[in-house]
Structure 1
């Protein structure tokens, strides 16, 4: 069984985001501490991101944590061997464009695909959600929100993250990009919502915050969009 858990983290609330990480650990279904590897490439392997992960899971008896960094060189002697021994891989947020460039330079897409096909749970937030899809709106190119369509594409849809109502411009940008054909139709998540895909199909949406939603968004053929609300299971 191949699994992907694609998440919009809770901006500014690491404790709530940690609940989504714990759900990813549970998806591995192992009866021992889960081998859980954090991949912070999208933040340039920033020490602060690494420290956040170690603080969150360093003393958790349910997890055997590790971190894969690629700057300035991989921190493990055999990246493929290390990743294939994991139960869960969690990709952090940041610049999806830069992350994909670095991954491709290091041959990560092929290694990650092998992990996915061998039952490792592939998961992540923000950039770590977009990457499994064809793409989605990103501010990685500039301060505006542009279409990124160079993701891994294992999931044949686009993805919108932080898709909340109010002053979040990603929601409007995602629907405009889908409506114009710049991005294919796909799935969007509000903060605190994760999409659980099994064998390449959406199984369910889950949330760590009440009242949050996921959305199926498609072009309407007239330059606009149509959307269908997905009510997640509260975890």
Structure 2
């Protein structure tokens, strides 16, 4: 059991977050993170925010504890829970928003907020489903309630007067469709779209999607792109590790993903139910999100020779899509 936080003279007991900080010996009202040794102001809200979303060396279990606290603080005191300087998301961050399935209006609204633009330009890249006209129509319908400018980049028969890089790099966000990940990766490579998407990511353009549109950003994962059975696929590798979409809706996904990780055929990674997803900055998971109450996000890995499926705390974006992270 952890010792109770000490009580400063004449004040309230210290917040439990101090268990992961040392007092600074060089500055007044400053502290040092025990995980990454970053020195910062000794304000509990800043300290919790750092451990939940910024620290790059913190243990995942500890991060999740503080992520849960931060989500609760954000939900209950959105405007007061963090200083204004922290509320602003740096435009230089490389951002990816994925979902296990159903990248609908709720996710598009959240993606739009992540751009920081009042009326962002969002481009749909439906390569994985063969530039399906019905999916393109659905994308426009999903965007209709939002204050965004929707665009579509076709690859099978492109009618744009702009080159692929001119089109995609002029966007504020790019969302990729679900479908056949193997075909998607091959076509992107043939057209140089993989390199353009890397430029877009480095530029700060928000990337995202669900199913194949979420899997594509990882190093590898499970796919139903080939006949008869689920297999593995190598992807862009912007995000480290593996990914498994549709974790709750396709019965074979969960046991296969765990088996492949346990045998070393896949790296540890993230599994998302339909309607659940993760927002990443650079390579770090910042927030697990959900558009359905019972949708879950998991980190699947080997611990002491046994497969471990860790449920990550999620933040509902159904009613709160403001970007305060």
**Whole-angstrom CA distance in 1 between matches of 2:252 and 2:105:** 25
Q: Residues 51-70 of structure 1: matches in 2 within 5 Å?
A: 51-57=137-143, 59-60=144-145, 62-70=147-155
**Structure 1 counterpart of 2:297, from 194, 207, 214:** 214
Question: How many residues matched?
Answer: 225
Runs ≥4 in structure 1, deviation > 4 angstroms? none
What is the RMSD computed on CA atoms of the aligned residues?
1.6
1:6 matches 2:98:
yes
**Structure 1 counterpart of 2:125, from 21, 39, 45:** 39
**Structure 2 counterpart of 1:98, from 174, 179, 183:** 183
Q: Contact 2:181–2:212 at 8 Å: present in 1 too? A: yes
1:232 matches 2:232:
no
Structure 2 residue runs without a partner (length 5+):
1-92, 318-325
| Residue range with higher mean Cα deviation, 19-28 or 73-82 | 73-82
Structure 1 residue runs without a partner (length 5+):
11-15
**Whole-angstrom CA distance in 2 between matches of 1:43 and 1:210:** 28
Q: Deviations over 1:93-150 (max 9, x none)?
A: 00000000000000011111001001100111100111100121111122211111x2
Q: Deviations over 1:149-201 (max 9, x none)?
A: x2001111100111117x62211111111111111000111111111000211
C-alpha displacement at 1:73, in angstroms?
3.9
Tell me the TM-score normalized by structure 2.
0.66
C-alpha displacement at 1:53, in angstroms?
1.0
**Structure 1 counterpart of 2:241, from 143, 151, 157:** 157
1:192 matches 2:291:
no
**Which structure is higher in RCO with an 8 Å CA cutoff and minimum separation 6?**
1
**Whole-angstrom CA distance in 2 between matches of 1:161 and 1:76:** 35
**Structure 2 counterpart of 1:18, from 98, 105, 125:** 105
**Whole-angstrom CA distance in 2 between matches of 1:61 and 1:215:** 30
